[in-house]
Amino acid sequence: MKRTWFLTGTDTNIGKTIVSSVMLIKAKKHGFYTAGYKPISTGCIKTKKGLRNLDALLLKKYSIIKFPYNTINPFAFYDSEPPHILSQKNKINITFKKISNELYNIQKKANWIIIEGVGGWYTPISPILKFSDWVKKENIPIILVIGLKLGCINHAILTNQAILKSGLIFSGWIANCISNKNKYVLDYINTLKKYIYAPFLGKVPYIKNIKNLSKISANIHLPK
């Protein structure tokens, strides 16, 4: 059975990659052949092998099945701007076909796959298409990451409504502590539980050093 999820967030820079990596670690412990997939990335670095995205590299590090970089990150852009703008500026057409084909290649070898989105649920990838349109086309269940910060409750409620409206399976949500100075973490979570109509999969604590990821994987549950 191929278990595949699309992981989105309430915003950008709320820890989607950290959560994705933790979930890959957790799935590995359950015996799955795991793979992380980052179809679109921005803010890449230039290397001798071409553009590389640090988030995609982290997903590759924690995946059991190793794929060529261009498979796990087929669309990579240097600047840190919205992908639909960068695709037009660089004359690179982001296509559903390419994203789907690479996913199918990954599914041939991996049986537990996390697909990390870019930005939030409604991030545009072209003048007329959003990333969520591709997810609906492929009928992929959703996991939502909520970065605990001021304003996240409103963003989470709106994203929750948008996911439910899509008709896709909402497999669960994860609270990510993006600061070690937030003393109201439990209050945030308890409030979110009242408004998010999906299972609460757990909380990821604040992580200062990503080398500690393997030590916190027990704090979350895998989606069913």
Other CB atoms within a 10 A radius of the CB of residue 142 amount to: 26
Q: So what's the pLDDT on residue 16?
A: 96
Q: So what's the pLDDT on residue 67?
A: 97
Rounded CA-CA distance 214/26 in Å is 8
CATH code (residue 148):
3.40.50.300
- Each residue of 44-90: pLDDT tens digit? 999 999 999 999 999 999 999 999 999 999 999 999 999 999 999 99
If you count DSSP H runs as helices and E runs as strands, how many of each does the chain have, helices first? 8, 10
Burial per residue of 43-52, b for 16 or more beta-carbon CB atoms within 10 angstroms, e otherwise = bbeeeeeebb
Average pLDDT of the residues in 101-109: 97
Other CB atoms within a 10 A radius of the CB of residue 214 amount to: 14
Domain count, the chain: 1
Active site residue 38: yes
Choose, from 2, 16, 29, 38, the residue flagged as catalytic.
38
Q: So what's the pLDDT on residue 211?
A: 75
Q: So what's the pLDDT on residue 218?
A: 62
Residue 190, token pair as written in the block:
């308890």
- Region of poorest pLDDT, from 12-21, 56-65, 215-224: 215-224
Q: So what's the pLDDT on residue 224?
A: 86
Task: Give me the residue label for tokens 């799935």.
Answer: 27
Task: Tell me whether residue 170 is in a domain.
Answer: yes
Task: Tell me whether residue 224 is in a domain.
Answer: no
Contact 136, 105 (CB under 8 A): no
Q: So what's the pLDDT on residue 108?
A: 96
- Each residue of 113-168: pLDDT tens digit? 999 999 999 999 999 999 999 999 999 999 999 999 999 999 999 999 999 999 99
Pairing of strands 75-76, 142-147: unpaired
Check whether 1 has a pLDDT greater than 60: no
Check: pTM over 0.85? Answer yes or no.
yes
Q: Which domain holds residue 41?
A: 3-219
- Each residue of 155-203: pLDDT tens digit? 999 999 999 999 999 999 999 999 888 899 999 999 999 999 999 999 9
Rounded CA-CA distance 69/105 in Å is 13
